[in-house]
Structure 1
Amino acid sequence: MKSIIIKKSLAVMLGIFPSVVFALGGDLQFNGRCGPGQHFASISFVGDILIHKLLYVNVVAETKDFSQIWRGINPMFSKANFSVANLEGPAALGIDAQGRDWGDVGFIYDDKIYSGTHFSFNYHPRILSDLKHSGIDLLTLANNHILDRGWIGIDRTMTAARTVGIQVTGARHSQDRNDPFYRVVNIQGLNIAFIGCTEMTNGRPDNKAQVMNCYKSGLMDTIKTLSARSDIDAVIVYPHWGDEYQQTPNSRQVSAAKSFLEAGAVAVVGSHPHVLQPWEKYVTSDGRETFIVYSLGNFVAAQKDVERKASAVMYMGLTKPGQGKAVISGVAYTPTVRSGYKIYPVGANGDKSVLKYLGRHYGQSGLLNPEESLSLKLCRSLP
């Protein structure tokens, strides 16, 4: 188990006591309990969805249905009441890397309009309906590749998402300058606000203020405002941040995560490093139990080695005991791994290298086998 010491200057800036040492990883338990008459909601999270060229070309050659890649995980999504993912890049119909509009050229992969390589990504908008039909309810679009087709790429993605009815957070249409960067969703009677943000856009300017930045004051103000509202039961932040291929969060992530939680969020679920980073329970200064996953790594990607091929469907249970805000009743995870062109769930008797990798970050007690009941895992009853 590793620990991280917050750097003093950054901790002071974010209002966190600088001498605290935080232990990461391992088994987690929460005190929230489920009972008769209480609302209970389960939420699943996955990390980056990156359709690299190898995967994209295979989809074009076979079914022209992106879900052929992750169809084996659909039953894991259906276990939860609500499912969230990060779509890494735009889904902009007919737009090339220079922002030119070529119209509907069909479901192709040409490395010009639709690409998944050379640090430039754009997917046919069919991916949005494929994700929705698989059970994904909300996408965060705030990431370092969302401006790979410029402002028009975000506009086209937002329009396509509205057309198919999948919800998004973290970005907005250029003509909707007053639209919030968050999304409030009613899940099993609980009103939950999801906020996506990114720490960078690969140097591409956000000239039309379309993407939420994780380190601008607007995010903290939004968290505080939402958490103070009587009609919001929980706030969840989905940041895109950290150092690529590093399995330990940096001090900026650790400090910011705590500041988001102290501001009123109940959970922070990160992405971007392309590898897993640990989870953690954090008790705020006002005594709330909160949850951090620093990085869920790659959910879909064509990168090599177990660290970049394996990931998890992460689950969190929320319950509302009478008055007040929702509290966490439990967390769990089901390991996943890409083999060839497809992604599969991994149970307790599965790939030992995957289980070892996941267990190092998330312990053993939270492991949810594909055949197990999620509600029994997350919702412990009142004594």
Structure 2
Amino acid sequence: MKQLLGLFFTLPLFVTAAENRDLHFSTSCDSTNDVAIISVIGDVLIHDAIYKSVVNGSKDFSQIWRRSVPLFTKADFAIANLEGPAAMGIDVSGRDHGDVGFIYDKVVYSGTNFSFNYHPRILSDLAKSGIDLITLANNHSLDRKAIGIDRTLEAANKIGLPTVGTRSSSDRSGKFYKVVRIQDLDLAVIGCTEMTNGHADTKEQLLFCYKDGKEIENTIKELRSQVDAILVYPHWGQEYNNSPDSSQKTYARRFLEAGATAVIGSHPHVLQPWEKYITKDGRETLIAYSLGNFVAYQKGLEKKTGVVVYLGLSQSANQKGKVVGALYSPTYRDGTEVFPVSKSSDAAEEASRYFGTLNRLPANESAHAKMCGNN
């Protein structure tokens, strides 16, 4: 009897762990429509050891992810979260030291002690690697105070790299989103964060996922008639928890019901599952709660594994902006570099727990071909 009871009570846990994460979408991908593919990666967090490897090595941040660049360029447009400011010369108190050079001193440029700031060269290194837009809304946005956000935006604007989620301290009416043209499709990208590690946003430079939730919904409703698709990139959830919390689930659905096409998030430093969500008006949408770490120097398989998610959007006259498919490619940080993952690796198994196996995109395959077959 004890053995039977043990089996009975453990069975639901087994079923939950083995839940199928493979996704299917009903919108066709055929000769009548073109498909725009957007890739999204998780946190780019340059911890101490990784930063030192760049300063002592090539002095080019792309040495960290150079082997994974082909994953970005599979898409027509690539999005990333830069976790931390890229504010030239600014220390933790907001003091300006000027251009101190490409150094790592833990005063101006730091990747430790929960206070991050990167040389602005990281922005151009991301751009030349194929990243087309970054969100700057995250819990480290204010690690160099308001001036840190301002300096980061100035540096990004200088090289023409679009940003979302933050705005200048001098522009209280600035938008937290960007509308980008991808082939013949207009995509709006909105960035937001759950919190800022206790730093007060005294100059209203950030969009908060929950506190400003109604504002985000209203923005989505306004944009619906102006664009073909809307992607929300929230920085949210509980760190090191593989399950989305109730707020993530609630607000993801609220944003999608308001008119968003996809909600793809980061912050927990581990993977959380994805799912297809059908809105009350019958639209098929995508939620990916956490893409895990892309770059971060944290221990353990869970924290070394991330995914690049690919969202396919239709571009025909009758179904522009509808989701035709979703794919993912796992990544793994080994030492101070990030690698695409092979099919038989532990990291591939880790990713499949949250994203299934059917939608996995091998590193050597085309996203367009995998999503659309031979059509």
Instruction: Give TM-score, length-normalised by structure 2.
Output: 0.93
Aligned residue number for residue 112 of structure 2: 117
Q: Is the 8 A contact 1:52 1:117 kept in 2?
A: yes
What is the deviation of 1:224? 1.2
> Counterparts of 2:309 and 2:67 in 1: how far apart (Å)?
16
Change (3 A) 1:297 1:309: same
Aligned residue number for residue 372 of structure 1: 365
> Counterparts of 2:256 and 2:279 in 1: how far apart (Å)?
7
Residue type matched to 1:224 in 2?
K
> Counterparts of 1:36 and 1:345 in 2: how far apart (Å)?
31
What is the deviation of 1:286? 0.5
> Counterparts of 1:46 and 1:139 in 2: how far apart (Å)?
10
Task: Give yes or no for the alignment of 1:337 onto 2:323.
Answer: no
Task: Specify which of 57, 78, 82 is matched with residue 77 of structure 2.
Answer: 82
Aligned residue number for residue 348 of structure 1: 343
Residue type matched to 2:131 in 1?
I
Change (3 A) 1:142 1:2: farther
Task: Give yes or no for the alignment of 1:197 onto 2:205.
Answer: no
Q: Is the 8 A contact 1:34 1:381 kept in 2?
A: no
> Counterparts of 1:236 and 1:207 in 2: how far apart (Å)?
27
Structure 2 SS opposite 1:332: strand
Structure 2 SS opposite 1:175: coil
Percent of pairs with identical residues: 55
Residue type matched to 2:22 in 1?
D
> Counterparts of 1:2 and 1:364 in 2: how far apart (Å)?
22
Kindly report the root-mean-square deviation, in angstroms, between the aligned alpha carbons of the 2 structures. 1.8
What is the deviation of 1:177? 2.0
Matches within 5 A, 1:157-236: 157-215=152-210, 216=212, 217-227=214-224, 229=225, 231-236=226-231
What is the deviation of 1:310? 0.7
Residue type matched to 2:95 in 1?
R
Query: Per-residue CA shift, 1:14-44, capped at 9, x if unaligned?
Result: xxxxxxxxx9761001112233453420011
Instruction: Give TM-score, length-normalised by structure 1.
Output: 0.91
Instruction: Give aligned pairs, total.
Output: 360
Q: 5+ residue gaps in structure 2?
A: 1-10
Structure 2 SS opposite 1:108: coil
Residue type matched to 2:240 in 1?
Y
Task: Specify which of 81, 89, 97 is matched with residue 92 of structure 2.
Answer: 97
> Counterparts of 1:285 and 1:380 in 2: how far apart (Å)?
30
Q: Is the 8 A contact 1:312 1:335 kept in 2?
A: yes
Aligned residue number for residue 44 of structure 2: 49
Moved over 3 A (4+): none
Task: Specify which of 56, 67, 70 is matched with residue 65 of structure 2.
Answer: 70
Matches within 5 A, 1:287-302: 287-302=282-297
Residue type matched to 1:283 in 2?
I
> Counterparts of 2:315 and 2:322 in 1: how far apart (Å)?
6
Residue type matched to 1:262 in 2?
E
Task: Give yes or no for the alignment of 1:137 onto 2:145.
Answer: no
What is the deviation of 1:89? 0.6
Q: Is the 8 A contact 1:334 1:347 kept in 2?
A: no
> Counterparts of 1:124 and 1:191 in 2: how far apart (Å)?
32
Q: 5+ residue gaps in structure 1?
A: 4-22
Structure 2 SS opposite 1:147: coil
> Counterparts of 1:213 and 1:282 in 2: how far apart (Å)?
23
What is the deviation of 1:325? 4.5
Structure 2 SS opposite 1:281: strand
What is the deviation of 1:219? 1.0
> Counterparts of 2:366 and 2:97 in 1: how far apart (Å)?
48
Query: Per-residue CA shift, 1:241-291, capped at 9, x if unaligned?
Result: 000000000011001101110000010001000000000000000000000
Q: Is the 8 A contact 1:141 1:169 kept in 2?
A: yes
Task: Specify which of 3, 22, 31 is matched with residue 26 of structure 2.
Answer: 31
Task: Specify which of 301, 306, 322 is matched with residue 301 of structure 2.
Answer: 306
Change (3 A) 1:152 1:24: farther
Q: Is the 8 A contact 2:185 2:320 kept in 1?
A: no
Task: Give yes or no for the alignment of 1:260 onto 2:255.
Answer: yes
What is the deviation of 1:143? 0.4
What is the deviation of 1:324? 5.4
Structure 2 SS opposite 1:100: coil
Q: Is the 8 A contact 1:39 1:188 kept in 2?
A: no
> Counterparts of 1:115 and 1:45 in 2: how far apart (Å)?
25
> Counterparts of 2:110 and 2:127 in 1: how far apart (Å)?
21
> Counterparts of 2:149 and 2:135 in 1: how far apart (Å)?
12
> Counterparts of 1:372 and 1:207 in 2: how far apart (Å)?
47
Query: Per-residue CA shift, 1:303-356, capped at 9, x if unaligned?
Result: 01010001111111000332354111111111100111111001324x2x1111
Q: Is the 8 A contact 2:331 2:339 kept in 1?
A: yes
Structure 2 SS opposite 1:333: strand
Task: Specify which of 272, 276, 283 is matched with residue 271 of structure 2.
Answer: 276
